[in-house]
C-alpha cells in the first residue's frame, strides 16, 4: 500500500450504462472476449491483462508496487504489445482513477508503471475540480466500477505557486488561469511563508480535493459500502516517491 508520510437500478439505468460503456469501451472485436467474472481481460491464446485489483486495498498495493519499480528504474512498461492493443478494442476495465495535475513531469502511467487499460486518468491544472472533472470521475466509478480514486498532488506545482502568488499580491492572472487559482485559494496554508507556503499548499489542496470528491453523494455511498476509497497522495520530483497524505 502507498506509504503514508503523515503517519509513515432498473432497466433504464442498465440501458444507460450499456450505452455509456459501449461509447467509451468500443464495440466487441471478433475473437476477443471480456471476462469480468475472473476479473481479467483475455483473448484466445492467452496473454491477457491478468487479474484486475477489485478492492481499494488491492488497487493501492498495485500502485505502490508500480511506483517502486518506477523510482528504482525497473519499469516493466506493461500491457503495450500488439496483442494487448487488440484485446482492449473490446473494452476497458481500469482498476484505479488518478486525478492529477497537467504537469508534464507527472504522467500517472509512468509514475505508477502501468500500461494500456490499467488506469483512468483525469488531469487539470492543480487537480482542481469543475463539472467536467467531476463528471469524468463519476463515470469511472459509477460506470466502470473503479474501486480507487487517487488525488495526486506533486512537489513544485506551478498552478499552486501561481495561486499563492496571486493571493498574496492581489494580481489577476490571465484568461482562465484565474479560475484555477481561485479554486486553490481555500487550500492556501497561511501558517507557512515563502516556498514553504507553496509546498504546504500542494498537500492541503490534494486533501481538499479528496474531501470534496468523497463528499459527493454517489461516491460517498460506495465509500460507506467499502466498494471505493478516495485518497490523497503526493509525488516528490526529487526522488519520484508517491506517498499517501493522511
pLDDT band at 10; cut points 50, 70, 90: very low
* Dist CA 95 CA 119 (whole Å): 6
Distance (Å, rounded) from C-alpha 56 to C-alpha 231? 10
Grid coordinates given for 104: 508534464
- Least confident residue range of 4-8, 12-16, 141-145, 201-205: 12-16
pTM for the complete prediction? 0.84
Are residues 134 and 184 in contact, defined by beta-carbon separation less than 8 angstroms? no
Torsion of CA 121, 113, 39, 224, to 10 degrees: -50
Cβ distance 125 to 180 under 8 Å? yes
**pLDDT of the residue at 3:** 75
pLDDT at site 2? 82
Indicate the domain borders of the chain.
56-244
Residue 182: is its pLDDT beyond 80? yes
- Phi and psi for 170 in degrees, rounded to 5? 80, 5
Say if residues 226 and 220 touch (Cβ distance below 8 Å): no
**Residue 125: pLDDT band by 50, 70, 90 thresholds?**
very high
- If you average pLDDT over residues 53-77, what whole number do you get? 98
User: Which grid cell is 205?
Assistant: 489542496
How does strand 40-42 pair with strand 33-35? antiparallel
- Beta carbons within 10 angstroms of residue 84's beta carbon: 18
Q: Return the number of other C-beta atoms located less than 10 Å from residue 65's C-beta.
A: 14
* Arch. (CATH architecture) of 56-244: 3-Layer(aba) Sandwich (3.40)
Decide if pLDDT at 48 tops 90: no
Query: Is the per-residue pLDDT at 47 higher than 50?
Result: no
Task: Name the nearest CA neighbour of 65 among 57, 35, 246.
Answer: 57
DSSP string, 210-238: HHHHHTSHHHHHHHHTTS-EEEEEEEETT
For the annotated binding site for Zn(2+), the residues are: 101, 103, 154, 157
Nearest to 106 by CA among 242, 245, 243, 199: 242
Instruction: Characterize the bridge pairing of strands 241-245 and 119-123.
Output: unpaired
Binding site residue list: 101, 103, 154, 157
pLDDT band at residue 1 using 50, 70 and 90 as cut-offs = confident
242, three cell numbers: 508517491
**Range of lowest pLDDT (45-59, 150-164, 178-192):** 45-59
pLDDT per residue as tens digits for the range 71-97: 999 999 999 999 999 999 999 999 999
Coil, strand or helix: which one is 244? strand
**What was the pLDDT predicted at 29?**
31
Complete edge-to-edge strand list for the sheet that includes strand 119-123: 119-123, 96-100, 148-154, 229-236, 241-245
Total Cβ atoms within 10 A of residue 231 = 24
Indicate whether 215 pLDDT > 60: yes
The pLDDT, as a whole number, for residue 5 is 59
pLDDT tens-digit profile of 12-40?
A: 444 444 444 444 444 333 232 222 233 44
Amino acid at each position: 500500500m502507498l506509504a503514508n508520510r503523515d503517519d509513515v437500478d432498473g432497466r433504464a439505468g442498465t440501458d444507460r450504462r450499456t450505452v455509456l460503456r459501449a461509447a467509451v469501451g468500443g464495440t466487441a472485436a471478433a475473437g476477443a472476449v471480456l471476462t469480468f467474472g475472473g476479473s481479467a481481460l483475455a483473448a484466445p491464446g492467452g496473454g491477457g491483462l491478468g487479474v484486475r485489483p477489485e478492492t481499494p486495498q488491492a488497487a493501492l498495493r498495485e500502485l505502490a508496487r508500480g511506483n517502486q519499480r518506477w523510482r528504482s528504474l525497473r519499469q516493466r512498461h506493461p500491457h503495450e504489445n500488439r496483442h494487448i492493443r487488440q484485446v482492449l478494442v473490446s473494452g476497458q476495465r481500469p482498476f484505479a482513477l488518478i486525478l492529477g495535475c497537467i504537469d508534464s513531469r507527472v504522467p500517472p502511467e509512468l509514475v505508477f508503471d502501468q500500461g494500456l487499460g490499467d488506469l483512468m486518468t483525469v488531469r487539470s491544472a492543480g487537480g482542481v475540480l469543475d463539472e467536467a472533472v467531476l463528471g469524468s470521475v463519476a463515470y469511472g466509478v459509477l460506470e466502470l466500477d473503479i474501486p480507487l480514486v487517487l488525488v495526486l498532488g506533486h512537489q513544485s506545482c506551478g498552478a499552486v505557486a501561481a495561486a499563492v502568488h496571486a493571493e498574496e499580491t492581489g494580481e489577476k492572472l490571465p484568461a482562465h488561469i484565474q479560475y484555477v487559482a481561485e479554486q486553490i485559494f481555500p487550500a492556501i496554508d497561511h501558517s507557512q511563508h515563502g516556498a514553504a507556503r507553496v509546498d504546504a499548499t500542494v498537500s492541503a489542496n490534494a486533501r481538499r480535493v479528496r474531501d470534496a470528491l468523497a463528499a459527493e453523494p454517489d461516491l460517498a455511498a460506495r465509500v460507506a459500502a467499502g466498494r471505493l476509497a478516495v485518497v490523497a497522495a503526493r509525488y516528490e520530483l526529487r526522488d519520484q516517491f508517491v506517498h499517501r497524505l493522511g
